[in-house]
């Protein structure tokens, strides 16, 4: 499973509008996407900071959404947020809810794993 983390800052008093947009516009778009599994929203109590985490069947599904559909979702959000959201993507390697075990943790790519020794 693959995940997209989108962190953003809501404008003052935009919480209810964000909830409405999520329910009426964004979730229907997400549910129509191939490979979409779940959307989770995390907030810091008393803060305008918000983290949206979406789960996808594959990296390809998440990337396709990111390129083809996310710009439309961002247009819905733009009046409700300050600045540009930060998007990060991760491979989900362990989850009790999704029954993904620790044995699924990938081995590091030799292209990104430092080699021991001088300059390594």
pLDDT in tens, 20-72: 999 999 999 999 999 999 999 999 898 999 999 999 999 999 999 999 999 99
**Per-residue confidence band for 88, with pLDDT thresholds at 50, 70 and 90:** very high
pLDDT for the residue 94: 79
pLDDT for the residue 112: 58
Going by C-beta distance under 8 Å and a sequence separation of 6 or more, which residues neighbour residue 66? Answer: 4, 87, 89
């Amino acid at each position: 499973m693959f995940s997209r983390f989108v962190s953003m800052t809501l404008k003052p008093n935009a919480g209810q509008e964000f909830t409405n947009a999520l329910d009426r516009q964004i979730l229907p778009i997400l549910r129509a996407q191939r490979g979409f599994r779940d959307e989770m929203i995390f907030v810091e109590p008393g803060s305008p900071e918000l983290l949206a985490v979406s789960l996808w069947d594959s990296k390809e599904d998440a990337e396709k959404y990111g390129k083809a559909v996310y710009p439309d979702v961002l247009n819905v959000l733009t009046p409700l947020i300050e600045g540009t959201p930060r998007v990060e993507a991760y491979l989900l390697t362990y989850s009790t809810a999704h029954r993904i075990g620790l044995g699924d943790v990938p081995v590091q790519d030799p292209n990104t794993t430092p080699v021991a020794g001088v300059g390594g």
